[in-house]
Chain A
Amino acid sequence: MRKLFAILGALMRNPQGALGLVLFLLLLALVVLGPVLAPADPESFNYGARFAAPSLEFPLGTDWYGRDLLSRVMSGARSTVLLALLATGIGTVAGALIGVLSGYLGGGADEVVMRLNDAVMAIPGLLFALMIIAVLGSSSINAVIAIGIAQTPGMARVARSVTLQVRALDYVSAARARGEPTSWIVLAEILPNTIAPIIVEATIRVAFAVMTLATLSFLGLGAQPPSPEWGLMIAEARSHLFRSPWPIIVPGAAIALVAVTFNLLGDGLRDVLNPRSGGH
């Protein structure tokens, strides 16, 4: 726990990390309190004010049913961000373990694992997620699992390439000369030293996960209308683009903000988690 506070403290001293952390905490507040704080009911129609531009009454404007976009974005934060984080988490942990183990073992095992990995990577991510949903059935949590699995091979590649560099270092040789078990070498010697690029990669993938979730919702395999899920909001607003840009700009900006937040946080974490430049 103290270590967590130490990392957070160090993050606040890093300009990118501080901004990322502030944005992340705002996002977290939105995830937890969004529906409560929303000024209006995200699903109540308001035919008198369809396609309204931002005003005092509707701070971010309204959509084609006159629904308040601010309220919708605030309410939608929970499903969008939480699910995307979960999906990325699954993909990162699975990918990192496979990549590090494969890179460390090398030789034939590495060859087999990586060629299988390549085969999976050759299938487009969305198509792969669709296949998994076809097997598991459509629901939000299955969409999350599908995106997580679809992200695993890419993450495994990144983790493996870092592992190959770390594996050649003497502290791994020293551990092998001591007769350490493979689990210790992989989890304690190699994994902590590959974590920086993995975290950076993971933060970039959060934004992708948001988009893929949106696509699945659009295809009717994730969230269903009238849910204020951000991706779904964009998908629905597509046909009204020429009447008013606000229904697309607002959730689009929200997704962009999530991407920027996690990228900043990732950059900050990378510096902080590096013991050489970090705040230990």
Chain B
Amino acid sequence: MSDTPPVLTIENYALSYAGPDGPIRILDDINLTIRRGEILGLVGESGSAKSSLANAIMRDPTGKVVHESGRILLSGTDLTALGEKALQKVRGERISMVFQNAATALDPTQTLGDHLIETLAQHRGGSGLRAKTLELLGHVGLPDPETMLSRYPHEVSGGEKQRVLLALALACEPELIVFDEPTSALDATTGARLLDLVRGLQHETGISGLFISHDLGTVAEIADRIAVIYGGRIVEIAEPGPLFARPRHPYTRALLSSLPRPSDSLTGRRLAISHAAPAPRLGMPPPCIYSASCPHHLPELCDAAQVRLQVRDGRQLACVRADAVEQSRSEATEWPAVTVPVDQPLIEVSGMDVVYGRTSLLDRIARRPIRRTRALVDTSLTLRPGETLAIVGESGCGKSTLARALTGLAPYSGTLSLDGTTVDEMDRAYRSDVQIIFQNPDSSLNPRHTIATILLRPLKLFRPELSRRERREEVTKILERVRLPAEYASRFPHQLSGGEKQRIAIARSFAANPKVIICDEITSGLDASVQAAIVRLLRDIQAETGVALIFITHDLGVLRHVAHRVAVMYLGEIVETRDMASLDHPPYHPYTEALMSSSPSIDPDSETTRIRLTGELPTRSEALPGCPFESRCPRRLGEICKTPPPLHDFGNGHRILCHIDARTLAEMPPVWRFSKTIMEPLS
């Protein structure tokens, strides 16, 4: 492949935007090439300027450019030298882009067909556009392209919208496609199918692409080579295999060591918590962009000259101390011992139902059918003191509804008991014992309140016995517990980083000394290293206080590091409950199997089975008579699946709701096959 001509060459590219305190360095010393038929992955954490690079290639800067230098060559044409008129021809025809959020990238007032026809007419013209459009829609695996043509974006699912975006990008057979986090907004099973599609198309048509993602696992699935970007500079470029097996740059090493792997349960590997600071953006760039955070930084070596990408052992690396770094052992992070739950129920939920939507008077008069969503169906679960119960499932499975019902935000029917007493109304005592942390700290912390106000509120409500001074002291103590300095009390949320904000949200939840904290996707919006730190913090708090956690997530990797037990939800029902310890072994519920196998990982020691779900998630507007997974199940038995499935009990709290008999379930192949090297010491 190395002798094919490059489609995209970026030479010494640098870009600065205007900022309130002088120019902000966005990109610096970028050098890369993408060859014909190659997909280059670009990975970096938030703020690494990976999307700015995409914008620079598309010539669509998001800020006010104060400095730009270097060249961006598309098959020999320097894009930085082109005028707006010429660029319009290049965009869509020679380069196209697939955006993260298909919902906003498509015009809601145009049909999907119009989108495609407009693009084709603009760049291709001529007749037969409709036929070409149909062909494109079929190409991206959309069933029934004919009806798709006349649909509006809101009438199709997120996965289908993303496929239409892909069809738009492919429409003019461009030389290069820029993928900007195309799967990040999708569910695991939908995202996995989209990745399969892109990979298939690449084999078929040989498209070249730049694939940007914050998720190494996703990039590993698709890219021929991976570039790691930090602070606007590329620090390492290598092929996926060598990169994951032997990361060389200290930043890449830190990034990989904070990512969970399926083999972690077997190897006992702990997530590392890197202390990488945000890269410097103002003033003169340091010779090595990572120097401020690098544990191996030696001023006389590292600061001698500008550290640039250099070819070493078949990869490109921007580190002068790579050999010394390789020798060093990363220090093992101490994690608190796993808490042993007390064997008595703390929270017991049985037969819980939540129905959204109510009938309006007008509907009743007109005798219209009642549109209601059954968000939670006959859910039962138990939580023990000191235990972490993970709840996993895709969006719309009812996991957040469960959290809202348990905290009094959604009315429910069924019984709920705390410490053996049935909860009839959510009084102050219950609210004090059961706390919730929301996914997005940007919206869960009031931007107008200082951190002190935010933390004082639960103290005032739930611990009224404290005096004013004691409350102030308590705020300092709480901040200390979430490893934040006391002077943060006078700050506002927007002055904190994403991880720090989530720490404040965590601090607020345990200010009342609760018995249960419900964590609703609290690590989902965070970078891997921050996620590891947050998970570690929860573990610490649990070890200190014995609080029970309900950890809701769609990210399966992190489960192994946080949970004792896991409940898998689909369409409002818990289809499987099991111990984390047995996760590597069947039996699985067919949905659990599909979900686990859709989660991309970068583990050199394991291989994940490939099971893909077809069809779309049905809406739960009326009672489904049978198994909720019936419409998409790859192991569907037949008509029997339309009747309520039995609950198999495999002992040790392992229960599966499925028609398939227990023997067959137990004989399923495992989702992960682990390499011999880590299996041998065990046998």
Whether, in the assembled complex, A174 has its beta carbon less than 8 Å from a beta carbon of chain B, the answer is yes
Whether, in the assembled complex, B494 has its beta carbon less than 8 Å from a beta carbon of chain A, the answer is yes
Candidates A175, A178, A188, A275; contact of B447 at CB < 8 Å: A275
Candidates B426, B461, B508; contact of A180 at CB < 8 Å: B461
CB contacts (< 8 Å) of A276 on chain B: these are: 447, 494
Are A174 and B438 touching (Cβ within 8 A)?
Answer: yes
Are A170 and B447 touching (Cβ within 8 A)?
Answer: no
Q: How far is the CB of A215 from chain B (nearest CB, A)?
A: 38
**Which secondary structure dominates where chain A touches chain B?**
helix
Candidates B440, B445, B461, B492; contact of A178 at CB < 8 Å: B461
With CB as the reference atom, state the residue of chain A lying closest to B454.
Answer: A171
- A192–B492 Cα gap in the complex (Å)? 14
Whether, in the assembled complex, A179 has its beta carbon less than 8 Å from a beta carbon of chain B, the answer is yes
Candidates A174, A176, A180, A275; contact of B448 at CB < 8 Å: A275
- A177–B509 Cα gap in the complex (Å)? 11
Chain B, residues 393-408, CB within 8 Å of chain A (1/0): the string is 0000000000010011
Chain B, residues 429-463, CB within 8 Å of chain A (1/0): the string is 00100011011100111111100000001100110
- A179–B433 Cα gap in the complex (Å)? 12
Are A170 and B428 touching (Cβ within 8 A)?
Answer: no
CB contacts (< 8 Å) of A138 on chain B: these are: none
Given A176-B408, A177-B436, A179-B426: A280 and B492 within 8 A (CB)? yes
Candidates B407, B435, B446; contact of A193 at CB < 8 Å: B446
CB contacts (< 8 Å) of A189 on chain B: these are: 446
CB contacts (< 8 Å) of A170 on chain B: these are: 438-440, 443-444
- A231–B301 Cα gap in the complex (Å)? 77
Whether, in the assembled complex, B409 has its beta carbon less than 8 Å from a beta carbon of chain A, the answer is yes
- A175–B448 Cα gap in the complex (Å)? 14
Are B438 and A178 touching (Cβ within 8 A)?
Answer: no
CB contacts (< 8 Å) of B439 on chain A: these are: 170
- A177–B427 Cα gap in the complex (Å)? 11
Given A177-B431, A178-B461, A276-B494: A171 and B409 within 8 A (CB)? no
Within 8 A of A (CB), among B408-428: 408-409, 426-428
CB contacts (< 8 Å) of B409 on chain A: these are: 173, 176-177
Chain A, residues 170-206, CB within 8 Å of chain B (1/0): the string is 1101111111100000001100110000000000000
Given A174-B438, A178-B431: A193 and B448 within 8 A (CB)? yes
Interface centre among A174, A180, A280 (most CB of B within 10 A): A174
Whether, in the assembled complex, A169 has its beta carbon less than 8 Å from a beta carbon of chain B, the answer is yes
Given A170-B438, A173-B438, A280-B492: A178 and B457 within 8 A (CB)? yes
- A203–B449 Cα gap in the complex (Å)? 25
- A169–B440 Cα gap in the complex (Å)? 10
- A178–B408 Cα gap in the complex (Å)? 9
CB contacts (< 8 Å) of B494 on chain A: these are: 275-276
Q: How far is the CB of B534 from chain A (nearest CB, A)?
A: 17
Are A177 and B446 touching (Cβ within 8 A)?
Answer: no
Are A180 and B457 touching (Cβ within 8 A)?
Answer: yes
CB contacts (< 8 Å) of B407 on chain A: these are: 177
Within 8 A of A (CB), among B494-543: 494, 508
- A175–B461 Cα gap in the complex (Å)? 11
Are A178 and B458 touching (Cβ within 8 A)?
Answer: yes
Candidates B408, B447, B492; contact of A177 at CB < 8 Å: B408
What are 10 A-B pairs at a CB distance below 8 A? A171-B443, A173-B444, A174-B436, A174-B508, A177-B436, A179-B428, A192-B446, A275-B492, A276-B447, A276-B494
- Chain B positions within 8 Å of A, measured between CB atoms, are 404, 407-409, 426-428, 431, 435-436, 438-440, 443-449, 457-458, 461-462, 492, 494, 508
- Chain A positions within 8 Å of B, measured between CB atoms, are 169-171, 173-180, 188-189, 192-193, 275-276, 280
- Given A175-B457, A179-B461, 8 other A-B contacts at CB below 8 A? A169-B443, A170-B444, A174-B436, A174-B438, A174-B508, A177-B431, A179-B431, A188-B449
A-B residue pairs, 10 tightest by C-beta: A170-B444, A192-B448, A170-B438, A177-B407, A170-B443, A171-B446, A179-B431, A169-B443, A276-B494, A275-B492
